[in-house]
Amino acid sequence: MRVVLAEDLALLRDGLTRLLTAFGCEVVAAVDNGPALLPALLANRPDVAIVDVRLPPTFTDEGLRAAIAARAELPGLPVLVLSQYVEQLYARELLGDRSGGVGYLLKDRIADVEQFVDAVRRVAAGGTVMDPEVVAQLLARQPLNGLTAREQEVLGLMAEGRSNAAIASRIFITEKAVSKHINSIFTKLGMPPSDDDNRRVLAVLTYLG
């Protein structure tokens, strides 16, 4: 699996490079600033891009903007955002794009190396990986008064990419009850239900946008 990495902190960039290499990945480019990221992505066409949101020179949202620009040139380019911050506007734009794998993880909440590598592989394979805190911040800004508390809880778990079985296990209800809540959620949001997990996440994120 070929990876392009964008991280301005030298120690973290080197550590991630060594970690990914140890798990069989090839880091084909590791850049430390926003202007260098887009050319690196277009030149290398990696299996997945791992991108920090805030990169030099302005430390605002260069990484995320470069990733979105790259996906415009390379539709379906898998992007995993790895950051300390939730950049709401561009996060919605990236996550609402229906082509290719996407993920958004917060650096200080990653506690397990193998879990992180699994997330990288899932995004590279076209999946969606969301930190629950990112989901919570996106949901918190939306008018969800039409949903019950349980439906809001299920919606949040859906947006994390969890299956019906995983949701049922998490909140201690039956899968049949989860399906009922999901059907109700989609009805209230004016969206057709779907059995495809990734489409469900994208529908939720489209609504959030």
pLDDT in tens, 135-178: 777 666 555 667 788 888 888 888 777 889 999 998 999 999 99
Q: What is the pTM of this model?
A: 0.70
Residues 6+ apart with CB under 8 A from 103: 79, 80, 81, 119, 122, 123, 127, 128, 129, 130
Q: Is 63 in contact with 55 (CB distance < 8 Å)?
A: yes
- pLDDT at residue 203, as a whole number: 57
SS (H, E, C) 6-34: ECCCHHHHHHHHHHHHHCCCEEEEEECCH
Backbone angles phi, psi at 126, to 5 degrees: 100, 5
Q: How far apart are CA 67 and CA 161, in angstroms?
A: 21
Give the residue among 172, 140, 159, 166 at the shortest CA–CA distance from 200: 159
CA 91 to chain centre: 8
Residue 59 carries which side chain, given as an amino acid letter?
F
Tokens of 97: 């794009």
Q: What is 142-208's CATH topology?
A: Arc Repressor Mutant, subunit A (1.10.10)
The CA distances from residue 71 to 64, 95, 96, 172, in Å, are 11, 12, 12, 39
Q: Which residues contact 109 (CB under 8 A, 6 or more apart)?
A: 131, 133
Tokens representing 58 are 């302005």
5-35: per-residue pLDDT in tens? 999 999 999 999 999 999 999 999 999 999 9
Superfamily covering domain 2-131: Response regulator (3.40.50.2300)
**Mean per-residue pLDDT over the chain, rounded:** 85
Q: At 128, is the pLDDT very low, low, confident or very high (cuts 50, 70, 90)?
A: confident
Residue intervals in the chain for CATH 1.10.10.10: 142-208
- Provide the β-strand partners of residue 52: none
Residues of the chain with CATH 3.40.50.2300: 2-131
Residue 81 is predicted with a pLDDT of 93
Instruction: Evaluate whether 65 touches 38 at the Cβ level (below 8 Å).
Output: no
- Output b/e per residue, 90-123; b: 16+ Cβ within 10 A: bbbbbbbbeebbbbbbbeeeeeeeeebbebbbbb
